[in-house]
Amino acid sequence: MLSKTIETALNKQIKIEAESSQVYLAMAVWAEVKGLEGISNFMYDQSDEEREHMLKLVKFVNERGGHAHISELNAPNVSFDSFQKMFEKLLEHEIFVSESINELVHISLQEKDYATHNFLQWYVAEQIEEEATARTILDKINMIGDDKGGLYLFDRDIQQLTVVSSAAPDPGV
């Protein structure tokens, strides 16, 4: 059974994950309108992934005797000065999400809710990967600079981007 403190904190995270999905969706639409099909497809996929993260939390709250709340969302930014600025905002957002997950882990330990603590470890690892991906993308964008040919190649190649974080399970184990 979830404590009210944990239930409230998890419901806050449900909203954050839903808003993350909207952030990626807004970025996908912006990139698509700019003719950046690869970036757009990457963002659409990320939006779907964030929605899955939200649903995983919803199911967990309900399965543990709580009541998941679906609330009003804050509207995401829908316009960006450049695709570089867009990815900078993305990294900032992922850092914010990581901080929120870390706070949830802290609360679960304070409440001695080890089931929730264990459940949240997946999110901790996921956020390490999300931040690493955003940083890798920004590194590539910084290498491109203002080169239109580089942007064309980056837009094509981002669909194959895979970042294996140090938190990923070792496939050899």
Give the separation between CA 85 and CA 76, rounded to whole angstroms.
15
CATH fold, domain 4-160, is Ferritin (1.20.1260)
Cα 158-159-163 angle, rounded to 5 deg = 70
* pLDDT digit string, tens, across residues 132-142: 999 999 998 88
- Only one residue has tokens 């829908």, namely 78
Residue 122 in tokens: 């997946």
pTM, entire model: 0.89
Run of H or E including 5: helix 4-33
* pLDDT digit string, tens, across residues 101-158: 999 999 999 999 999 999 999 999 999 999 999 999 999 888 888 788 888 888 888 8
Domain ranges for the chain = 4-160
Supply the pLDDT for residue 173: 47
What amino acid is encoded at 54 in this protein? M
